[in-house]
Amino acid sequence: MYRLRDQKNFIDSKMCDVLADSSTAEQYATCKLAALKQIKDRYAQANAGIKKAGPKLAFKNYYVTILSQVKTLGVNYGETVRAYDQRQGSAETRTDEAWTLFEVEMGF
């Protein structure tokens, strides 16, 4: 489980990198693509260690939600700060729920 939590912490840090290291649209896009690639690589490594079907499916669900969250980090045209915060809060909640489901499936 420690390795999987380490993977989750790494993925969370990639999301922070995308937001913190991006002062222009080009830097944002470059950082986001790099984060997505690193997340995909880490997912493949972590997923290889999960043997049971239930936890494997739950981990895949977490993977899908985290990719979606990273892909939608940007502000949509005409989006208010409040709407952006609500959208990101909902995405974070879905990601947290997916991780919790994975922990339950793993028996932690």
Task: Say if residue 20's pLDDT is above 60.
Answer: no
Please give the average per-residue pLDDT across 32-52, as a whole number. Answer: 86
3-state helix, strand, coil in the chain (%, to 5): 80, 0, 20
Cβ–Cβ < 8 Å for 86, 34: no
Q: For residue 47, what pLDDT band results from cuts at 50, 70 and 90?
A: confident
* Whether the model pTM is above 0.75: no
Q: How far is CA 15 from CA 2, 25, 53, 78, in A?
A: 20, 16, 28, 23
pLDDT computed for residue 15 by the predictor: 56
Give the per-residue pLDDT at 1: 46
